Structure 1
Amino acid sequence: MTAVGEARQRLGRIGVGLMTPLAPADEWRRAAVRMERAGYGAIWVNEAVGGREVFTQLGVMLAGTDRIVLGSAVANLWARHPAAMQGAASVLADAYPGRLALGVGVSMGHIVEASGQRWTSPLAKMREYLDGMDAAVEAAPVPSVPFPRLLAALGPKMHGLARDRADGALPAAMPVEHTRRVRELLGPDKLLLVMQAVILETDPAAARGFARQTPMLTLPGSPYVRSLRNLGYDDAALADGGSDEVVDACFIWGDEAAVAERVGEHLDAGADHVGLTVFTPDLASAADQFERLAPVLL
């Protein structure tokens, strides 16, 4: 079976993102076990440059669980040489057959510059990086089950690269219309994994106020702003953390039934899998919210 076929079978339709920056390893293991027992298909973790290194993190959680898929959403290409990316993913996929998904991302300019590196064209950088990964395949272990390679992609050019050079795309924080357009561009034979933030709050003002505290639309050179402009949102809609329409399109908020309905819209629009993230101060609180959602999602 191909990496795409294997991933569709193993990931299931719903996963969770555990994005808390720093926590002891035991807390990560406990949270991962709770998500596996709740029935989710995958756990997604992220990284910047430095700090919590994503492959080490994935290894800790793979070792502490039995069946759930662990994925990077995403592994920052500025954090390692492309041969190291290929080698690390191959080692984990060999050790835990069928349980690794590799999401690769080009990050954002302010993060890269803060790490002491020089920001360059994201598309050119990703192409060059994928060339380096491909050149390193023969030197890496060969897993018995192929792992999917996904690109964090918000714009149509990166979506095209995901279609041509990867197993699919992994966009985040975008409206349902974006999911529909990406599926059309990718075609039926590529994976589309969508990351969405959830706010379990039924008061509209409170939910939207919380969403506007995130830096998604205020970061310098935000790729989210560019992508939303491509969907037709104007400067007024994107100002001051986003209009109500923008916030409601990019964030899932409400009670459990409302969350399930919005997740279903992304699946109906062509997503193979939706990974959900929540805003909590610690991993235990995140696991509490995901356990609360599991009966309506799974």
Structure 2
Amino acid sequence: MTRIGAIFNPYTHSPDEFRDAVLAAEEAGVPELWIWEDCFRQSAFATVGAALAWTERLKIGIGIAPMPLRNVAATAMEIATIERLFPGRLLPGVGHGVLPWMGQVGARVASPLTLMREYVPALRALLAGEQVDVAGRYVTLDAVRLDYPPQAAPRVYAAAEGPKTLQLSGEVADGTVLDSGHTPGEVAAAVAAIREARAAVGQEGAADIVAYVVAAFGPDAEARARADVGDKPDPLERAVWGDPAQVAEGTRAFFEAGVDEVILLPSSRVDLAEFYAAAGEVGRLVDATAAR
């Protein structure tokens, strides 16, 4: 399944710009708007709750909230409450967090992989309404069950980049969020690792794989895309640029690499209403192509 979304970048736009951005995304027909929680910029769950209250159709993805910052029961309560209030519109994701930042707040763990292996299954089980008993290295739950679990548990995504985390995300999560800056070939290798790991442990259902991709629209789009990717080899393989038709065509390589969704990332500061209008058109073009 091919889907297009867009991102609100907390590095180039501040929280006081978020409401107008959310309304612009819904008006433009962007189906999904993704945010993330980097220290020390903006909260994930407060942001999501506000965005869903302001809109009627827009889905909001969290890609991601750092696991070390929150007890898994607290994360489950946040997600379950939002899902009860706005059913089917939250796409929650968790990840290791940037390790130096986790150290700054006293939350850095010695083994991020162990934390993910314990945390994500516990989170999924709580959201499924199960009683969870865990005595792990980082996750301890004694007969914990949510009083108000979601009517239907949402997919839980895990962010992954390195080989071990890619494999683990396939084993324990419902989907994986891949960061921007990768070529379609690199994305294809990540997708293969996720799917192989999933098959090896007999994980049910297909993983939903989301890729952030740098995008630039309008005048000088190619130059801005190159600059936004940064100092990496073959930068123009790592971005999409041009008018909406050209960007839609550019996403094809990432879909062919095996991802289910391409999330368009404005790395530099842009007019968000214009960016989301173009992203909405990209989504419609991709949908039309997929329907043929």
C-alpha change, 1:253 and 1:127, in structure 2 (3 Å) is same
Q: Which residue of 1 aligns with 2:52?
A: 62
Matched, 1:115 2:123: no
- Aligned counterparts of 1:132 and 1:257: Cα–Cα separation in 2: 42
- Aligned counterparts of 1:115 and 1:105: Cα–Cα separation in 2: 16
For 1:172, which of 161, 176, 179 is the aligned residue? Answer: 179
Opposite residue 248 of structure 2, the aligned amino acid is A
Opposite residue 183 of structure 2, the aligned amino acid is P
* Matched residue count: 254
C-alpha change, 1:128 and 1:280, in structure 2 (3 Å) is same
Instruction: After TM superposition, give the deviation of residue 156 of structure 1 in Å.
Output: 2.9
Matched, 1:295 2:287: no
Instruction: After TM superposition, give the deviation of residue 123 of structure 1 in Å.
Output: 1.4
Greater shift in the superposed pair: 202-211 or 266-275 = 202-211
Where is the helix percentage greater, Structure 1 or Structure 2? Answer: 1
SS at match of 1:189: coil
Instruction: After TM superposition, give the deviation of residue 256 of structure 1 in Å.
Output: 3.4
C-alpha change, 1:156 and 1:49, in structure 2 (3 Å) is same
C-alpha change, 1:293 and 1:123, in structure 2 (3 Å) is same
Opposite residue 207 of structure 2, the aligned amino acid is K
TM-score normalised to the size of structure 2?
Answer: 0.78
Q: Which residue of 2 aligns with 1:161?
A: 168
C-alpha change, 1:279 and 1:183, in structure 2 (3 Å) is closer
Q: Which residue of 2 aligns with 1:184?
A: 192
Q: CA contact under 8 A between 1:15 and 1:275: conserved in structure 2?
A: yes
Alignment of 1:1-298 (within 5 A): 13-21=3-11, 22-24=14-16, 27-133=17-123, 136-137=126-127, 138=131, 139-140=145-146, 141-173=148-180, 174-187=182-195, 189-200=206-217, 202=220, 207-212=225-230, 241-243=231-233, 245=234, 247-281=235-269, 285-298=271-284
Q: CA contact under 8 A between 2:7 and 2:33: conserved in structure 1?
A: yes
TM-score normalised to the size of structure 1?
Answer: 0.76
CA RMSD of aligned residues (A): 2.4
After superposition, the C-alpha distances for 1:153-202 in whole angstroms (9 at most, x for unaligned) are: 11232222222211111111122123322333344711111111213364
Gaps of 5+ in 1: 1-7, 213-240
After superposition, the C-alpha distances for 1:220-266 in whole angstroms (9 at most, x for unaligned) are: xxxxxxxxxxxxxxxxxxxxx223x1x22323334434322221211
